[in-house]
Amino acid sequence: MELIQILHTKSNDGLLKTCLGHWQSFLAFLIGFVTILVCWINHHVAFEYIKKVDTKFMWVNGFLLFVVTLTPFPTAILAEYLEKESRMALAIFGFNYILIAIAADCICTYAYNHHLIEEEQRKSFYYFKLIYRYGIFYTLIVFFLCFVSIVVPIFLYIILFATFSSPKELASRLYKIRMGKKK
């Protein structure tokens, strides 16, 4: 909505100058979109494994929907306050990632523990589930780093985006690492 309002301002500045003057809003929109896209990709992959659902699972899934729906708000705060209160803005933004990681872990843990995954896929799904458990700790660490640095957490969030953009591959790598240690 903010982008639409920016483009409809009554200013004598040209379109390009107006857009460049509000680069934070465009960046926030892009970050928000990529965050929601990565969540959707991961949700889709999880449901490739999940073959049945129950009412409690729908509530757990609703929690994920809720925290993903929150994404535009901390992203807008990040855009608005990045230059003024960068550490706090980044921390609020990062707190949303903690919630997303917890919600994703809840979905996978519930599905795994309540046997909503077919027996022959449980081993593969276990490693898929495990990446979200690690994701909670990762996002917590990055969250606390937001109060110390700006560059390091931003870099770590970029790594988070990159790794979770291919969840099957990430789970497969984790499986291979774990199997290599057992030999």
Tens-level pLDDT at each residue, the chain (183 residues): 454 454 445 666 666 776 677 677 787 888 889 989 999 999 999 999 999 999 999 999 999 999 999 998 998 898 888 788 889 999 999 999 999 999 999 999 999 999 999 999 898 899 889 999 999 999 999 999 999 998 999 899 999 989 898 888 888 888 888 877 765
Predicted confidence at residue 90, as pLDDT, reads 92
Say how far apart CA 46 and CA 113 lie, in whole Å: 14
Do 22 and 6 contact (CB within 8 A), yes or no?
yes
Amino acid at 134: Y
Distance CA 73, CA 29 (A): 11
What pLDDT, on a 0 to 100 scale, did the predictor assign at position 123? 87
Provide the pLDDT for residue 2.
53
Residue 112's pLDDT is 96
Distances in whole angstroms, Cα of residue 141 to Cα of each of 31, 62, 84, 158: 20, 26, 23, 14
Instruction: Output the DSSP codes for 103-122.
Output: HHHHHHHHHHHTT-B-GGGH
- Dihedral angle sign, alpha carbons of residues 68, 94, 29, 78: positive
pLDDT of residue 159: 92
Taking the domains of the chain in order of start, what are their residue ranges?
17-182
pLDDT of residue 53: 94
Q: pTM value? A: 0.83
